[in-house]
Chains A and B, each alone.
Chain A
Amino acid sequence: MSLGIVQAIQNVVLTLPWPSGVRSLLVHPAGPFTIFFWAPTFKWMITIANIGDFSKPAENISANQQIAISATGIIWARYATQINPVNYNLMIVNMFMGLSGLYQLYRKSQVPKEKGGFWGK
């Protein structure tokens, strides 16, 4: 199913007089008109959402979800260095995601037993 909307928008944008450096970025096969750019870029939102959740009381955070976030972040950060070509963008976003998850898990570990402890009620 290809509606061609993004292609149409890209064609319109490319009619403008961009400098050659910017133009080569706009037509890049992993550039801003492709999913290969936006999917990994959007992954930063997970880290940002997690940092936003630092202010939530630790009892209301899901330990399961934070374990998944930390594990995904750490494993994919390593994965990004093992593929060819090495993808530093992927490595950095996953590193920060893993670190934010680990900090949340630390906060969960400080929840006293009366409030549910690490795993919650």
Chain B
Amino acid sequence: MTDKIIALINSPVGPKTCHFWGPVANWGFVLAGILDSNKPPEKISGRMTTVLMFYSCLFMRFALRVQPKNYLLFSCHLCNASCQAYLLTRVFRAEQERKAKAAAAGNQ
């Protein structure tokens, strides 16, 4: 059992190489997005969130067209695109509320 673990650790695409940590780093975007979903929407950068969403959409296609197909990369970017889209809805909703409040305050 420990032999297998040691073999995995020393593998040429294992955790001692950047071939492993590259895709892991991409999951960092998903993690950051999930952690940020509880923060107030004013702290979300609409610009960056939009860019990250389109970036992940493009790489979803990339992961399926590259040889060999990389389903791990695909799933990572699928999660990230969804996550960033959700953050964008929060930004839009907060913007609508802010405009409604400003209009209501202006009418008084």
A contacts, CB < 8 Å to B: 34-36, 38-39, 42-43, 45-46, 48-50, 52-53, 56, 59-62, 64-65, 67-69, 71-72, 75-76, 78-79, 82-83, 120
A64 touches B31 (CB 8 A): yes
Pairwise interchain contact B48-A35, C-beta atoms closer than 8 A: no
Contacts of A75 in B (CB 8 A): 18, 21-22, 24-25
Chain A contact residues: over half helix, strand or loop, or mixed? Answer: helix
| B25 proximity list for chain A (CB < 8 A) | 68, 71-72, 75-76
Which residue of A has the minimal Cβ distance to B61? A35
> Which among B2-10, B52-60, B96-104 touches the partner chain?
B52-60
Which residues of B approach A to under 8 Å, CB–CB? 17-19, 21-22, 24-26, 28-29, 31-33, 35-36, 39, 42-45, 47-48, 50-52, 54-55, 58-59, 61-62, 65-66
**For the complex, what is the distance from the CA of A52 to the CA of B17, rounded to whole Å?**
33
